[in-house]
C-alpha cells in the first residue's frame, strides 16, 4: 500500500523525502560555524535552557572551530570513502543558534557553504527568537534556487513548560517565526522534546494538533535525556518524581499514538534521540538508533496504523 507521501513506509521519513526530491541519497554534513546562544550570553538569559549540555559551552570549543569550507571538505572526503554512491550534500548548522549574528556575518558563513561543490543546500538550526525580517528575507532569497531549511527548537507548545525549562521565549514567538519563514517560501523544521517535567500524555497529544496546524515541513522528536552537569540534572536529583522515565517500548508505543495525529505532510526526521553512553544521568536504552527505528516500524505494522491516520484539519 502506498501512503499519502508516496512510499510504503508507514510514516513520512525525511530520508525518503530527500530521495524523492533530489532523486538520490543526500548526505547531511554537520558543521559548526562557531555561533553562541543568546540564552547563555545574557542578551536573553544566562545559564541557558535547563537541559542544555554545559560542556558544549566550553569557550575553547567554538574558538577552535575550523573554517566551514574546511569542515565541508573533510566531511565530504569521509563520506566519499564510506558511501561511495553519495554525491549530494546538505550542510547542517546544528550547534547553538545559527542565526545569532548580524546579517553581514551570516552571509560570510552561508554563502561559501552554498557555493561549495556538491553542497545543494543548508539546514540552519536556531531559536525562534533569533530571526527577524531582514534575516528571513535573506534566507528567502537563497531559497529561490537552493534547498534552505530553518530548523527551530520548539521543544514544547506550552508556555508554562518553556518557562520552567528557561527557554527565554514563549510559544507565540515560535509560531510567529515558523509562519513568517513559511510565508517567505523558506522550508521549516521543528524539534520537540517528549517527556519534559510537568507534561503528560494529554499535553503531547494536544501538541500534535497545535504542531500539525503550523506550516512545518520536517519534524524531529527526542525523548527527554537528562545530561550530567546540567541544571536539569540537579532538578532530577532533588525531584526525580517529576520526570517520566520511558522504557523504549513505552516510548515507541507513545510515539505511535502521537504520530497517528500528526499532519501527514510533515516528514519525520527523527523519532528519538541518542547521546553518548556516559553522558546521561539515567541509564539509556542501550540500543542503536537504527534498531529503535526498526522496532518503531514493527509497532506501526502490529497496530496496523500510520502517520496521520487520525489527523484531521479541524
Ligand atoms: S537555546 Fe539551545 S544552545 Fe541555547 S541554551 Fe537552549 S538548548 Fe542551549
Does the residue 99 lie in any domain? yes
Instruction: Identify whether 312 is part of a domain.
Output: no
Residue 2 lies in a domain: no
Q: How many Å lie between the centroid of ligand 1 and the Cα of residue 84?
A: 35
- How many other CB atoms are there within 10 angstroms of residue 302's CB atom? 10
**Residue 54 confidence (pLDDT):** 61
pLDDT in tens, 192-226: 999 999 999 999 999 999 999 999 999 999 999 99
* Atom 2 of ligand 1: nearest residue by CA position: 96
List Cα–Cα distances, 161 to 34, 165, 186, 192, 229, in angstroms: 28, 6, 28, 12, 21
Residue 229: all three cell numbers together: 552537569
d(CA 11, CA 193): 19
Q: Which helix H or strand E contains 231, and what residues bound it?
A: helix 231-238
Give the separation between CA 10 and CA 32, rounded to whole angstroms.
33
| Residue 248 within any structural domain of the chain | yes
- Whether 7 maps to a domain, the answer reads no
Q: Is pLDDT above 60 for 61?
A: no
Assigned domain for 19 exists: yes
Q: What is the pLDDT of residues 9-25, one digit of tens each?
A: 999 999 999 999 999 98
Inside any domain, residue 85: yes
Per-residue pLDDT at 85? 77
Query: What mean pLDDT is reported for the chain?
Result: 93
pTM of the entire structure? Answer: 0.95
* Listed residue (81, 82, 80) closest to 117, CA to CA: 80
* Sheet bearing 119-126, strands edge to edge: 26-31, 88-93, 119-126, 147-155, 187-194, 218-223, 267-270
Question: What domain count does the chain have?
Answer: 1
CATH classification at residue 274: 3.20.20.70
- Taking 60 as the threshold, does the pLDDT of residue 56 lie above it? no
Which residues neighbour 188 within 8 Å (Cβ) at sequence distance 6 or greater?
149, 150, 151, 152, 178, 181, 182, 214, 215, 216, 217, 218
Predicted confidence (pLDDT) per residue in 258-310, tens digit: 999 999 999 999 999 988 878 899 988 989 999 999 999 999 999 999 999 99
**Does residue 187 line the site of ligand 1, with CB under 6 A?**
no
In the chain, the percentage of residues whose pLDDT exceeds 70 is 96
DSSP 3-state of 286: coil
CA of 121 to the centre of ligand 1 (A): 24
The range of the structural domain enclosing residue 28 comes to 14-302
The answer to the question of residue 197 being in a domain is yes
Amino acid at each position: 500500500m502506498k501512503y499519502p507521501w508516496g512510499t510504503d513506509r508507514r510514516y513520512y521519513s525525511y530520508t525518503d523525502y530527500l530521495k524523492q526530491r533530489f532523486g538520490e541519497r543526500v548526505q547531511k554534513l554537520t558543521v559548526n560555524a562557531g555561533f553562541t546562544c543568546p540564552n547563555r550570553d545574557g542578551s536573553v538569559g544566562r545559564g541557558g535552557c535547563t537541559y542544555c549540555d554545559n560542556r558544549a559551552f566550553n569557550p575553547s570549543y567554538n574558538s577552535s572551530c575550523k573554517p566551514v569550507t574546511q569542515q565541508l571538505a573533510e566531511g565530504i572526503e569521509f563520506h566519499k570513502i564510506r558511501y561511495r554512491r553519495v554525491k549530494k550534500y546538505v550542510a547542517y548548522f546544528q550547534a547553538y543558534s545559527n542565526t545569532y549574528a548580524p546579517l553581514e556575518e551570516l552571509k560570510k558563513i552561508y554563502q561559501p557553504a552554498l557555493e561549495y561543490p556538491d553542497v545543494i543546500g543548508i539546514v540552519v538550526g536556531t531559536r525562534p527568537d533569533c530571526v527577524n525580517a531582514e534575516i528571513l528575507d535573506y534566507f528567502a532569497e537563497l531559497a529561490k534556487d537552493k534547498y534552505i531549511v530553518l530548523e527551530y527548537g520548539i521543544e514544547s507548545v506550552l508556555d508554562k513548560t518553556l518557562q520552567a525549562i528557561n527557554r527565554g521565549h514563549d510559544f507565540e514567538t515560535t509560531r510567529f517565526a515558523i509562519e513568517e519563514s513559511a510565508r517567505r517560501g523558506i522550508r521549516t523544521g521543528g524539534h520537540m522534546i517528549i517527556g519534559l517535567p510537568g507534561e503528560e500524555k494529554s499535553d503531547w497529544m494536544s501538541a500534535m494538533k497545535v504542531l500539525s496546524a503550523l506550516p512545518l515541513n520536517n519534524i524531529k522528536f527526542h525523548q527527554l535525556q537528562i545530561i550530567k552537569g546540567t541544571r536539569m540534572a540537579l532538578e532530577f536529583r532533588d525531584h526525580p518524581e517529576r520526570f517520566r522515565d520511558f522504557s523504549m517500548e513505552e516510548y515507541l508505543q507513545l510515539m505511535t499514538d502521537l504520530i497517528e495525529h500528526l499532519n501527514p505532510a510533515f516528514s519525520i526526521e527523527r523519532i528519538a534521540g541518542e547521546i553518548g553512553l556516559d553522558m546521561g544521568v539515567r541509564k539509556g536504552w542501550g540500543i542503536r538508533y537504527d534498531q529503535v527505528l526498526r522496532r518503531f516500524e514493527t509497532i506501526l505494522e502490529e497496530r496496523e496504523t500510520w502517520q496521520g491516520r487520525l489527523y484531521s484539519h479541524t
